Amino acid sequence: MQKIACIFSFKMSSWVSCQKIVFNLLKAYQLNPDLELLNFNYSIDQYDQEIYQLAQKIAQSKPDVISILDHKPHPARLLIPLIIELKRLGRKPRFIFHIFGDFTLNYNHWGELGKQLEGFEVDFVVASKRQKHLIDKFLQPEHESVVCPFPVDKKEFFYAPELREKQRELWGLKKDDIAYVFCGRLSRQKRIHTLLKAFSELLESTQSPKAHLFIYGNPDNVGDQFLGIWEVEGEYFRKINRIYKSLPLSVQERIHFMGGVPNAELKAVYQGADWLINLSVHNDEDYGMSVAEALCSGLPAIITDWGGLASFEITSIKNATFLVPTKIGEKSKLINYDAFLDFLKISLKNSQFDKRNDISEVTSDQFSIVPASKIIQDLLGTNPKPFSGFNQFFEKIMQNVTFFQNPYITTRKHINTTYREIYSSYVREH
């Protein structure tokens, strides 16, 4: 039996998707009866002395494997004193890092930690194939990352048609109305402004009396900092509100801002809706928890062909998923707007309701806790080579990030080669 030290913050993240990811990963470990799990709380509000005491406690528990399930705080603050203590005790456990989308925000921390990890067995576990392509750019050839999707709990998200009618009554919909839904942060990189514009054009071009758009989530001020776009609190929401107010009243009546809702309510939302829409081209889009949950609930989706969202393409069921082409343009990441409009028009005529149980089954077989547990179990049965540090490409990027104020854009505010070298992994052309 292997002893696994699971390290994560007991204080839940303000990002709901990250809360789900951590605890569902923990459930995936718990499914394996051959593992003895020891849970350790590593949170952002711990003082240095508490961190040192935690490092000693973990080392003295003599784990065979140390698994990092969370992304905040960055593990370097804990693992550097922990590695020192492990070396003092003459122990060399294996390290498993479940990598989140913010890896590319923390090159300096990873660089510092990477030097300390040299000689230890290390696994980098990513959430999607495109994230693997990105992360592998930073690793030595013998240290390819392993794909383990962030799992969905099938007890929470599954096909439940009995919830549909009640949810649609709450929305005030008729039987043949078509409900589109977005769930997530209202962020520039989620392209809510594009969604509003396209939905308005859909109604104007088709004159459809049936379509409604429900937008769930709270605004943020993340902007697009990699491309030099910073936003003050509420700036982006004010922008989309201006767009909304500029639309014809007949269109405004079909757009419903629902705000943030508890996770427990989303199951009914996905059953009541006819299509999920997610136009994200976020730098951190390594996966897409709301998309995974919606598909596991049987809801077909229109999503971008960007980053981890591309993992959700269902090829075995016609029109279950539409992937909107994306590319890295001169000054921003671009969505094929005409293709998105075409997908919206097709979706108006294809509710896919008779295929929803099939969508749920196909998706759950890939993205739920049981298959994730199997991947982790198989990983623990392998013997990785000792870590030899990050590669020269990583060092180059880290130097650029350290010494340049805007390392990803030119003086003319064009996207530069550095950004393209990294994020070419997130478009299909890679």
357 and 217: one domain?
yes
Residue whose C-alpha is closest to residue 378's, from 32, 142, 5: 32
pLDDT classification of 208: cutoffs 50, 70, 90: confident
pLDDT score for 429? 80
100 and 185: one domain?
no
Sheet containing 122-126, strands listed edge to edge, beginning at the edge strand earlier in sequence: 35-41, 2-8, 65-68, 94-98, 122-126, 146-147
166 and 304: one domain?
yes
106 and 183: one domain?
no
**Domain housing 81:** 2-151+371-407
226 and 267: one domain?
yes
In this structure, is residue 418 part of a structural domain? no
Give how far Cα 203 sits from Cα of 59, 197, 206, 246, 400, Å: 61, 10, 5, 15, 46
Task: Provide φ and ψ at 187, rounded to 5°.
Answer: -130, 150
For position 260, which CATH number holds? Answer: 3.40.50.2000
Residue whose C-alpha is closest to residue 430's, from 307, 322, 282, 309: 307
207 and 315: one domain?
yes
pTM, 2 dp: 0.95
In this structure, is residue 38 part of a structural domain? yes
320 and 180: one domain?
yes
User: Is the pLDDT confidence value at 423 over 80?
Assistant: yes
119 and 177: one domain?
no
H or E element that contains 87: helix 76-89
As beta bridge partners, residue 278 has 303
258 and 317: one domain?
yes
pLDDT digits (tens, 9 = 90+) for 317-326: 999 999 999 9
Going by the DSSP 8-state scheme, the letter that residue 149 receives in this structure is P
Give me the mean pLDDT over the 388-404 stretch: 93
**Counted domains in the chain:** 2
318 and 273: one domain?
yes
pLDDT classification of 349: cutoffs 50, 70, 90: confident
140 and 242: one domain?
no
Separation CA 180–CA 351 (nearest Å): 10
pLDDT digits (tens, 9 = 90+) for 191-207: 999 999 999 999 999 98
Separation CA 28–CA 4 (nearest Å): 13
In this structure, is residue 39 part of a structural domain? yes
Query: SS3 for 276?
Result: strand
